[in-house]
Amino acid sequence: MAEEGVSFSDQVRALARSLGFEAVGIARANEPLDTDYLRYRAFVNEGLHGEMAWLARDAALRERLDGDGILMGAKSVVCVARRYPNDARQGAGDGDALSGIARYARGRDYHRFLRRRLRRVATFLRSLGTPESPVHARPLCDEEPVLERAWAVRAGLGFVGKNGLLIVPGLGSMVLLGEVVTTLDLEPDRAPARVEERCGSCTRCLDACPTQAFRAPFVLDPRRCISYLTIEQRGAVPEPLREAVGTHLFGCDDCQTICPFNAGVGARSPLDRSDGDPFAPLERWSRVRLESLLALDAAEWHALFEGTPLRRIGRAGVARNAALVLGNRGDEGALPALRTAAAGHEDTVVRETAAWAVSRLERVDRGPAG
């Protein structure tokens, strides 16, 4: 219910913060993107999206929010950010899979969590209308054709760093984004300073990338990015990049953990645990051995990965990634499981990757003079 004497914009901001969003901003939805949209078109035209075909679909819709594709007549967009844990030690246990999982993916699938809260913001916005002047609102969460980071910058949430990620001052880059677009005319926030004024001459994120995926500051070739290789790539990981994947099982945080804007964030801004902390590492990871991921049957797969972000890459994807990690770890104890997978796994890519890992471990065993 609307509060008398408090602007609708301030009420929306207060509601979003009460729902656990640490950063909230508002931008004009009826002003199309310009430079960011042109960069997106150039990115797709060059084919940098690789196997992420969804990035090339509905390209024209990504320029604005006030058309048929998103919400006809939209005037405002509420952009929000929710931080997730960035402590590398969190959830350490006896299992050896957890450390290879990107921090955002160690708990439950965040989409459900964010969508529920975004729907509550949308419901509140609709309640501000009348039968004569209804207010329409649509929550957006990682599925619609929206250039999220560009709108977040417009709403004043932060700036895009040299690694291409949104950096929210005081919170860092380990945040998840969401939006609610509405026909209500809300007061927008003032945009922050230019990107280059924040990153300065720092290149730590670029230097830390194991696969050298950055062509230049702010220019990522996703096809070389470990997050792309372990999540989006459906076939075999290109052999020249396999060793650089290292021990990453699902995603990669390297360009974020090195970023000064993420240093000490946890100590300065403790996470709100009142909603159950959906990003806390699941207890099940403490029992997972990488070798076991090579031979999961359908029932075991479902029990282990249902409701987690890792479900996205499928049983074969996890087995392929596990074979890469085992090959890169140099642990000869994994050879029996890898040989079994190389000889008899149902998926061709897994068999080939496991054979590569076996060959790599045997080379390590023989040494340079072998």
Instruction: For residue range 70-118, list pLDDT tens digits in order.
Output: 999 999 999 999 999 876 555 445 568 899 999 999 999 988 899 999 9
Per-residue buried b or exposed e for 44-73, using 16+ beta carbons within 10 Å of the residue's own CB = beeebbbebeebeeeeeebbbbbeebbbee
Distance CA 365, CA 354 (A): 16
**pLDDT tens figures, 124-157:** 999 999 999 999 999 999 889 999 999 999 999 9
Task: Please tell me what DSSP assigns to residue 114.
Answer: H
Structure confidence at residue 95 (pLDDT): 65
Q: How far is CA 142 from CA 62, 177, 180, 209, 218, in A?
A: 13, 8, 12, 25, 21
pTM, full prediction: 0.90
Q: Would you state the structure tokens that stand for residue 336, as one six-digit string? A: 């029996």
Rg (CA), the chain: 22
Nearest Cα neighbor of 148 from 190, 113, 177 is 177
DSSP E strands in the chain: the ranges are 23-28, 76-83, 137-140, 159-160, 166-167, 175-182, 214-216, 219-220
Task: Show the low-confidence residues of the chain (pLDDT under 50).
Answer: 91-92, 193-196, 370
Q: Would you state the structure tokens that stand for residue 50, as one six-digit string? A: 């690789």
Structure confidence at residue 280 (pLDDT): 85
Structure confidence at residue 214 (pLDDT): 96
Active-site annotation, residues: 142
Structure confidence at residue 15 (pLDDT): 97
Cβ partners under 8 Å of residue 88, min gap 6? 99, 103, 257
Alpha carbon 173 to its chain centroid, in Å, reads 10
Q: Would you state the structure tokens that stand for residue 169, as one six-digit string? A: 């001052």
Q: Would you state the structure tokens that stand for residue 280, as one six-digit string? A: 């806390």
Nearest Cα neighbor of 254 from 303, 286, 211, 298 is 211
